[in-house]
């Protein structure tokens, strides 16, 4: 459930009409609902309530400081995958002891930043990384709390570009080699083993792959404990999918996910960490765009929007589907017509949907892409010198621009023409 609904025929974010925001900030823009973010976070904390737990929001899905502040103030931890994200978490007021650091290619500078600033744990993905972290921590006279990210070799049954838990993926340490690498971690100075980490992919629409992975983690916990390691935390990653269409898709509910975690891991007495991104932020955001032209092709009509692949990359990148709603609701009985929905970027790949059934639309009309909160604004670029689009946060009947559209002067001033030209 989210808070983007029609009221008197006009699509609202909570109590604010999207037309009102469009009139003041211009299109295209991202709009997030604070109530939806709050509700989705609460679903996870409730689902894990019987166990000691920390819900770490995956910043990479939506990294605006206002969103991080909102979730951080509710008690959320943060999962970061770069020094930049670490800085964002801290700038939003999240204490280091609620931040976990994931990612296959942490640099020594990033390790230093997090060690000095405070960190709950590093999720280490390889032996070279383990050795580098040991060195950096020793140089600083600090101890790095670590979990090793293991690759359980399970099929997440999701899009190949976002599956991470098969042995052919670049992520984690093969689970068969985990005991050996934990032994090395225990020997190295400056490290303290605190747990195990796993993340098998994103947009999973079934619980079974998770359950298979978590069972392997339960077994590994016993093995490692028997070898003398202090496994007290299990970080289970993110990955729970969301419905991208309002028809028949029904991914598992956080409550069932939580119950499955209790069933497979509850007996171990570990603190549970999870790193949901998409499920918290995905349906908490829409992308609002305006129609520039309606163009008649030979056998189809093109709806040319002012938003493009550089603003929302998922359709061109993954072939992802986003529901598209007219911001002004069509009267009942309106006949739908198929449109190819495209942006102005000079690439054939700049297409959002083909043959999408929509009510007749005209220049200046507004449409909203649903489920655009996650992996939307964070993946945007300025390709074709199109400025990054604003982000707006709505709470109840008020809203604020939480990232302004840059001016062209700001954009041009980032470039430097050398004196010798
Ligand atoms: C991307 C990612 C997540 C979040 O995944 P979602 O599908 O958005 O829940 C969590 N943990 C790690 C390590 C990730 O790479």
**Which CATH number does the domain housing residue 11 bear?**
2.40.37.10
CA distance 376 to 244: 13
User: Which residues lie closer than 8 Å to 323 by C-beta, 6 or more apart?
Assistant: 244, 245, 246, 369, 370, 371
Domain residues for the domain of 250 are: 34-281
For residue 338, being part of any structural domain is answered with yes
Assess whether pLDDT exceeds 80 at residue 249.
no
For residue 314, being part of any structural domain is answered with yes
Residues with CB under 6 A from ligand 1: 58, 60-61, 79, 81, 102, 199, 202-203, 237-239, 275-279, 374
CA distance 354 to 420: 48
* Pair 70, 191 in one domain: yes
Higher-confidence residue of 254 and 248: namely 254
CA distance 304 to 295: 7
Q: How far is CA 146 from CA 88, 232, 235, in A?
A: 21, 11, 11
- Index of the ligand 1 atom closest to the CA of residue 282: 8
* Pair 291, 232 in one domain: no
* Pair 132, 44 in one domain: yes
Give the position of tokens 């999701």. Answer: 158
Ligand 1 pocket mutation, candidates 100, 103, 275, 279, criterion most atoms within 8 A of CB:
275
Ligand 1 pocket mutation, candidates 54, 59, 102, 244, criterion most atoms within 8 A of CB:
102
Q: Which of 281, 296, 321 is the last residue of a domain?
A: 281
Residue having the nearest C-alpha atom to atom 10 of ligand 1: 238
State the pTM of this model: 0.97
Question: Residue 50 corresponds to which tokens in the numbers above?
Answer: 């019987």
* Pair 289, 205 in one domain: no
The three-point CA angle 110-387-412 to 5° equals: 85
Assess whether pLDDT exceeds 70 at residue 149.
yes
For residue 290, being part of any structural domain is answered with yes
* Pair 196, 295 in one domain: no
Residue 344 is assigned to a ligand binding site:
no
Q: Would you state the pLDDT for residue 167?
A: 82
For residue 421, being part of any structural domain is answered with no
* Pair 19, 50 in one domain: no
Q: How many domains does the chain have?
A: 2
* Pair 322, 232 in one domain: no
| Active-site residue list | 346
* Pair 237, 308 in one domain: no
For residue 47, being part of any structural domain is answered with yes
CA distance 324 to 246: 11
Task: List residues bridging with 13 in a β-sheet.
Answer: 4, 16
* H helix and E strand count, the chain: 12, 21
CA distance 201 to 162: 5
Q: Which of 235, 265, 281 is the last residue of a domain?
A: 281
Reported as a single tens digit per residue, the pLDDT across 81-107 is 999 999 999 999 999 999 999 999 999
Please state whether the peptide bond connecting residue 161 to the residue before it is cis, i.e. omega within 30 degrees of 0. Answer: no
User: Which residues lie closer than 8 Å to 194 by C-beta, 6 or more apart?
Assistant: 121, 145, 146, 147, 230, 231, 232, 233
CB count in 10 Å sphere of residue 50: 12
For residue 417, being part of any structural domain is answered with no
* Pair 104, 247 in one domain: yes
Assess whether pLDDT exceeds 70 at residue 1.
no
CATH code, domain with 255: 3.20.20.10
Q: How far is CA 375 from CA 249, 254, 403, 407, in A?
A: 20, 20, 16, 24
Q: Which of 253, 281, 309 is the last residue of a domain?
A: 281
DSSP secondary-structure letter at 54? E
Residue 318 is assigned to a ligand binding site:
yes
Assess whether pLDDT exceeds 90 at residue 248.
no
* Pair 96, 223 in one domain: yes
For residue 50, being part of any structural domain is answered with yes
For residue 420, being part of any structural domain is answered with no
CA distance 118 to 95: 8
Give the position of tokens 């070898």. Answer: 227
Residue 275 is assigned to a ligand binding site:
yes
* Pair 11, 110 in one domain: no
Q: Would you state the pLDDT for residue 247?
A: 65
Q: How many C-alpha atoms does 233 have within 13 Å on its Cβ side?
A: 22
Q: Would you state the pLDDT for residue 165?
A: 82
* Pair 309, 258 in one domain: no
């Amino acid at each position: 459930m989210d808070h983007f609904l029609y009221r008197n025929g006009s699509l609202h974010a909570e109590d604010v009409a999207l037309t009102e925001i469009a009139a003041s900030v211009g299109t295209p823009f991202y709009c997030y609902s604070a109530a939806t973010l709050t509700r989705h976070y609460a679903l996870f904390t409730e689902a894990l309530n019987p166990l000691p737990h920390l819900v770490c929001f995956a910043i990479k899905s939506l990294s605006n400081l206002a969103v991080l502040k909102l979730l951080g103030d509710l008690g959320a931890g943060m999962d970061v995958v770069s020094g930049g994200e670490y800085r964002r978490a801290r700038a939003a007021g999240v204490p280091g002891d609620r931040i976990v650091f994931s990612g296959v290619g942490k640099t020594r500078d990033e390790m230093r930043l997090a060690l000095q600033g405070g960190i709950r744990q590093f999720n280490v993905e390889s032996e070279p990384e383990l050795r580098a972290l040991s060195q950096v921590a020793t140089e600083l006279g600090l101890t790095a709390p670590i979990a090793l990210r293991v690759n359980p070799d399970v099929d997440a049954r999701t899009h190949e570009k976002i599956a991470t838990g098969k042995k052919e993926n670049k992520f984690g340490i093969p689970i068969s080699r985990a005991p050996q690498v934990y032994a090395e971690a225990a020997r190295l100075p400056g490290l303290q083993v605190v747990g195990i980490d796993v993340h098998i992919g994103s947009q999973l629409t079934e619980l079974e792959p998770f359950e298979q992975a978590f069972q392997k983690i339960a077994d590994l916990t016993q093995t490692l404990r028997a070898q003398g390691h202090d496994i007290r935390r299990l970080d289970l990653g993110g990955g729970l999918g969301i419905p991208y269409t309002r028809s028949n898709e029904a991914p598992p509910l956080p409550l069932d996910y939580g119950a499955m975690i209790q069933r497979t891991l509850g007996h171990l007495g570990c603190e549970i960490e999870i790193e949901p991104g998409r499920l918290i932020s995905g349906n908490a955001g829409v992308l609002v765009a305006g129609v520039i032209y309606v163009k008649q092709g030979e056998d189809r009509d093109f709806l040319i929007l002012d938003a493009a692949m550089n603003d929302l990359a998922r359709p061109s990148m993954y072939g992802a589907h986003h529901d598209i709603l007219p911001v002004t609701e069509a009267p009942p009985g309106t006949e739908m017509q198929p449109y190819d929905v495209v942006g102005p970027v000079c690439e054939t790949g700049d297409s959002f949907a083909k043959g999408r059934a929509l009510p007749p639309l005209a220049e200046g009309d507004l449409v909203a892409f649903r489920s655009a909160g996650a992996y939307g604004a964070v993946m945007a670029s300025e390709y074709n010198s199109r400025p990054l689009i604003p982000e707006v946060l709505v709470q109840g009947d008020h809203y604020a621009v939480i990232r302004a559209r840059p001016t062209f002067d700001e954009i041009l001033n980032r470039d430097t023409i050398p004196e010798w030209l």
